[in-house]
Structure 1
Amino acid sequence: MAAHREAAHRKPKQRLFTGPAARTAATLALAGAATATTLEGSAQAEPQLTPTQVKAKVDRLYHDAEAATEKYNGAKEAAEASEKSLDALRDEAARRTERLNTARDALGAYATAQYRSAGIDPAVRLALSSDPDEYLERASYEDRAGDRQAGAINGVRRQINEIAQLRARAQDELDLLASQRTALRKHKDDVRSRLADAQRLLATLTAEQRADYERSADAAHGGAARADRGAPRGSVAAPNARAAEAIAFAQGALGKPYVWGATGPSSFDCSGLTQAAWRAAGVSLPRTTYTQINAGQRVSRSELAPGDLVFFYPGVTHVGLYVGGGQMIHAPRPGAPVRYASLDDMPFAGATRVA
């Protein structure tokens, strides 16, 4: 028994790793844990999307990006209007401040003259006059001077109040502009995020699958990217000169790229194209799809004439320029240039006749 205890006592103790050995052991342990975590995560990861699912999700992202683009366009238009209003208020405040300073200088000169005259009451100064005619003349002058002074003081007070009101309005406009710029950044980030997500999804497809997606997208937005300058078969003449000018501009834009937020001349988004086309015809349209639809007379699909604006999707997020024969010219989406398309390619939401 004693020998057994002695043998146990002599048994070497387990030593902890130190120095390089410790670092090696720790590395191996971490690697093993990471491998286990990776395997566990892989087991729980979502299954990879099929090409069909990728295409459907990309289409949805492009549509959502276009809706966000129109919100961005609206926020940008509102911010630009607020900037102009703010500039006008500041200019008006500056002009009125200059007039106020002139009025104050005049009052100051009058007060200095009174001080130099020892502040003698006008009635006393008049009483000292020995000439009755001079007395009456000076009395009339002093009365008029007193009236002018009172009027000048009231004018200065009125100008001070008006300038204060202008500055308050300018501050309100500045606060509004700040909120609009915040919305602008939000919508811009939203567009970029959705487009980046679409590109990441497309990158998971093979070259053949990607080409197949582009062909199917082209078919859904106007066939094989028809971008020639001639009118499509079945089209009819524009009803008036302005509509003809708008269509001619849109035809001149065929083949130019879609860029969100763009209004030409080298690239367009959907509402940017229709706005630019009608601007070329001398008609000012608002910037967004959801404001353009209210910019003219609503017409039914059966009443369409070349030059009418045609809108799509429940949220009125897409617009094109009708050219007759059931066809339109529009800026479809990123990667797809301005082209002809059928009205049947997207869910029709309404139409407006501009002129």
Structure 2
Amino acid sequence: MAAHRKPRERSLGGTTARTAATLALAGAATATAFDGTGNAEPQLTPAQVKAKVDKLYQEAEAATETYNGAKEKADAAQRRLHSLQDETARRQQKLNAARDALGSFAAAQYREGGIDSAWQLALSSDPDRYLDSAAFVERAGARQAGAVARVREQLREIEQLRGASRIELKSLRSRQAELKRQKKTITGKLAEARGLLARLTPPERAQVTGDGSAQGRASRSASDTRAALEQAGSVAAPGSRASAAIGYAYQKLGSPYVWGATGPDAFDCSGLVQAAYRSAGISLPRTTYAQINAGRRVTRSELQPGDLVFFYSGISHVGIYVGNGQMIHAPNPSAPVRLAPIDQMPFAGATRVV
């Protein structure tokens, strides 16, 4: 009977109780971690968010300028490749015409018994071997021998063009890979910045991006150029081209920032500068680090309306100076083309292009 007796229940005391409590606490901690509250990031102040977002935008803009430079080179490589391909096609047509002419001559010689059927077959199946035949050159005479020599030269030129095309294609693919890497960097930085801004309340977000300021409100009124001029101060540009570039920039106040864009409805910083001076009949390079060398360097104290002003040690941002310490620039995806003081970013240099 004792063997079938029900085991006596033991109380959770001593070591057993402590073990159970430890397991329960561990389970609770695990559950909290899965809920996402155990390792929650500390709440950032608007000032901290602004500092982080500004840094991300600066890094994204530096990557954007690298992207712009790589795209410019990729576009140039694409144009060169198309040119080589077109030239190869033209040379091939000439070669085909020359071969047809030699083929007609060979057929006539065959009919006259000058060339046997084996040579005619060689012409149709392997023209290079046929043209290299000393026997054919001897039969052809001086005129036909010259034609053969020209065809052989055309063959060499075409092969050179094809070799250049292969090199250009390799360069293009390398540029395209660089574009893909830079695009990934840019989109990652911008996504992180958007995530930080999304944590803020609308008033805090407006404070961080500057959209709540008087300057932001004036900048969004793209059609109200007169108000913008009054805000910046009416300072005459030193020449008609600088004046035209500034006028274009004023007309684009309020346009959205889009990385890689050169207008007419959206811009990045160097794209706005390039488009403004293009409207004035002046061609500028695409990137900030090339634009700074596009004209004569001037000091900050020498600035005149129309000068290009550059910022950060990597020359990753540019604006158009309009006088009274103000510039027009395309800031970042959170802010449209707007007026801004040039002392709001680390000044790196200035260039006068006209």
- State the AA in 1 paired with 2:30: T
> Which whole-Å CA distance do the structure 2 matches of 1:104 and 1:166 have between them?
19
Q: How does 1:136-285 map to 2 (within 5 A)?
A: 146-215=141-210, 223-227=215-219, 228-230=224-226, 231=229, 232-285=231-284
Which of 65, 90, 104 aligns to 1:70? It is: 65
SS in 2 for 1:328: strand
- State the AA in 2 paired with 1:202: L
Deviation at 1:333, TM superposition (A): 1.2
- Per the alignment, residue 90 of structure 1 pairs with 85
> Which whole-Å CA distance do the structure 2 matches of 1:237 and 1:52 have between them?
37
- State the AA in 1 paired with 2:278: R
SS in 2 for 1:47: coil
Deviation at 1:328, TM superposition (A): 1.3
Q: Does 1:345 align with 2:344?
A: yes
Contact 1:320–1:331 (8 Å) recurs in 2:
yes
In the alignment of these two chains, the number of paired residues is 311
Distance 1:35 1:89, change over 3 A: farther
Contact 1:329–1:341 (8 Å) recurs in 2:
yes
Distance 1:295 1:236, change over 3 A: same
Q: Does 1:36 align with 2:24?
A: no
What TM-score comes out, normalization by structure 2 length? 0.80
> Which whole-Å CA distance do the structure 1 matches of 2:217 and 2:146 have between them?
74
Calculate percent identity across the aligned residue pairs: 60
46-55 or 258-267, which moves further after superposition?
A: 46-55
- Per the alignment, residue 335 of structure 1 pairs with 334
Deviation at 1:218, TM superposition (A): 7.1
Deviation at 1:251, TM superposition (A): 1.1
From the CA coordinates, give the structure whose radius of gyration is larger.
1
Deviation at 1:40, TM superposition (A): 5.7
> Which whole-Å CA distance do the structure 1 matches of 2:92 and 2:201 have between them?
68
What TM-score comes out, normalization by structure 1 length? 0.79
SS in 1 for 2:218: coil
SS in 1 for 2:334: coil
Q: How does 1:267-306 map to 2 (within 5 A)?
A: 267-306=266-305
Which of 88, 94, 118 aligns to 2:113? It is: 118
> Which whole-Å CA distance do the structure 1 matches of 2:174 and 2:27 have between them?
46
Distance 1:337 1:240, change over 3 A: same
- Per the alignment, residue 133 of structure 2 pairs with none
SS in 1 for 2:190: helix
- State the AA in 1 paired with 2:263: G
> Which whole-Å CA distance do the structure 1 matches of 2:27 and 2:66 have between them?
44
> Which whole-Å CA distance do the structure 2 matches of 1:325 and 1:207 have between them?
32
> Which whole-Å CA distance do the structure 2 matches of 1:298 and 1:93 have between them?
44
Deviation at 1:291, TM superposition (A): 1.1
Deviation at 1:52, TM superposition (A): 2.8
Contact 2:306–2:321 (8 Å) recurs in 1:
yes
Distance 1:353 1:63, change over 3 A: same
Provide the alpha-carbon RMSD of the alignment. 2.8
63-72 or 155-164, which moves further after superposition?
A: 63-72
Deviation at 1:164, TM superposition (A): 0.7
Contact 1:321–1:330 (8 Å) recurs in 2:
yes
- State the AA in 2 paired with 1:148: R
Q: After superposition, what is the alpha-carbon deviation per residue over 1:167-216, rounded to whole angstroms, capped at 9, x for unaligned?
A: 1111111111111111111111211111111111112223343233234x
Distance 1:281 1:160, change over 3 A: same
> Which whole-Å CA distance do the structure 1 matches of 2:318 and 2:338 have between them?
13
> Which whole-Å CA distance do the structure 2 matches of 1:255 and 1:201 have between them?
23
Q: After superposition, what is the alpha-carbon deviation per residue over 1:95-137, rounded to whole angstroms, capped at 9, x for unaligned?
A: 00000011111111111122222128xxxxxxxxxxxxxxxxx
